[in-house]
Structure 1
Amino acid sequence: MIYLDAAATTPVRREVLEAMWPFLTGDFGNASSHHELGARARDALEAARDEVAGLLGCRSAEVTFTSGGTEADNLAVKGIALGRRAVDPRRTRVAVSAIEHPAVLESARALARLHGFSVDALAVDGEGRVAPEVLAAVVGPETALVSVMVANNEVGTVQPVVELARVAHEAGVPFHTDAVQAAGWLPLDVRALGVDALSISGHKLGAPKGIGALYAAGRLALEPVLDGGGQERGRRSGTENVAGAVALATALRLAESERTTAAARLASLRDAFIARVLELVPDAILTGHPTERLPGSASFCFPRVSGESVLLELERRGVVCSSGSACAAGSSEPSAVLLAMGIDPEVALTSVRFTLPGSVGAPELERAAAAVGEAYAAVAGIAQR
């Protein structure tokens, strides 16, 4: 099997398993317990928090561990917006890009449905980018929060986050970014990015599913989404996942130590793969920005054939990929991301996403590209008959 669906999830790294193992076995204590076993768990939790904070360029107190990227996005969007409105009742709008992950989009819609907020959807261009002037035309004294992702999970387009955050700050509005897909591949120093909040998820990095983190600047008023015992400095109640926190810190450290070399290598392989697919399937359309994209992201539309049929043919040939976001798997509707980019609905239904893991090699990608050509020819032949 050639696995090209790394945007959906990645395998747990051995170093990560070894780091978290003690906290699944002998040191299994609750970090809130006031005895030796609890103290050992608490020390490990805070060491993991320190490590994540150091890698993101923030203070330890600004890192909140969550159950994953979805919870981190919910806490950021709902928590910051509600916190801002509590301080300034005029702040009743949130601005999000039209191609955000559902964790952000649905959080914004929940604010509208349950709390009376209005949602400003920021238009993107044909390559999936939000222009700073688009944000500048929307953001104002009623805006509680702007949320635009670092890089899109379907087409891989990287946003001009630094410029967008500057526009938000000039209007006095905090800026959140979903960095789930970018973590481990792009620089995520929160000070350099100029963001007030940033979400990451462990299982995209080689940690297990079920752990994530939110950086939220200490000055932010943040309304908790989960109520309970007041763990995580009152920002996220619930018994802490100590083993998961250790795993996330370890995976993020390993990824960051390899990032520059690994990203350059993968981007070169990606470009060769894209060129080969376009050579073998001249009708294919590359979606997303041609250069400002994640190192391992290559997404296409194959007009006049069914994207799902291409996926099935590829899997028969040992290539595993997807038709878009794993969160929308099984949907018969065209991708909302591609529609927002101006792609015709019939064409959007033909999308196939290849997201390359760091372990992939050139021979595998050459075989995968050949399989794309064969799969397309098989599906196109059936369609013509």
Structure 2
Amino acid sequence: MSKKINRTGFKFTPYEAKEKSPFEMLFEIFKELITHTSGDFDEAIEWLKMLDKEYKLTTDAYTIDDFIEDLKNKGYLKETITPDGNSKSSITAKTERAIRKNALNQIFGKLKKSGVGNHKTKITGLGDEHTGDYRNFEFGDSLDRLSVTESLKNAQINHGLGSFKLTEQDLVVEDTHHKSQMSTVLMIDISHSMILYGEDRITPAKKVAMALAELITTRYPKDTLDILVFGNDAWPIKVKDLPYLQVGPYHTNTVAGLNLAMDILRRKRNTNKHIFMITDGKPSCLQMPDGTYYKNSNGLDKFIVEKCYNMAAHARKLHIPITTFMIAQDPYLQSFVEKFTESNRGKAFYTGLEGLGEMIFHDYENNRKKRIR
């Protein structure tokens, strides 16, 4: 259709969706595969070749080899020399960022960025975020908050259009809100049950973590996010480590994870703190004072779960709410989570894998609004 000019002088053309290039199409699939293979490039490419063979993803004009070459040229792939002298391909930091962005789009796709992303308190006055609202001047208000235009309008209304009289009663200031920082710790269960029964639960958990990390760094830049994993023990990981996360032959030491999470948050200076815990199994492990491990995978061990309840209550005393996402729907596990949540006065969701990310974002937003506004 040719361009047409209407009477206003604006030009209108039919909208045409931009077609993805062969590289872009394959890259979308590659980001999914590299997440599932925990960053193993060779395995991801093998999967891509199998998909290509079955679904004819490439043509003679653009092959998988061409795609790999483009990954290198665009900075998504690097070659390293292994100790035995062989060359090995691995993804770069640029690819890691692309994977996090992809997770954000998948899980929080309806989200639109607005401003710097800081939430409000209900304290007004000497804040640092303009609201667009006005109120009467009060003693103690900073003079640089005065709205000269609105104050003069008031003076004209109160004293007549021809009057230049301006009194304290005419003055108005622009209302502001204080911005508040929030510190979050995300706990990810990497016990063996995350891949039991032929069900991949660790990949969606990783996606949620990557999406949350990307969300906070882009929309809430003043917030902090720490990530830890827990199995028999608990240890912190970096955001860049998330694509490579794998489960291990571990039991579930929930107490160790909570201990580390609270230790991290204890060092944060701001008062708004939160723990998210993603798990699919019951607590089944504790480290004893002598360094040995007490493990019991049969049912809910009273000794272990009581320690968990105590940790939840301790977090409540420190004003740290815990939101638990139980990726299981067994009644006896729900019973444990309910009591755990009651001890902390936090929140709990019982869910399958679908919708997990949306719930995490929803509660992240709600928690900020409840505790900060």
> Normalising by structure 2, what TM-score?
0.25
Larger Rg: 2
> Normalising by structure 1, what TM-score?
0.25
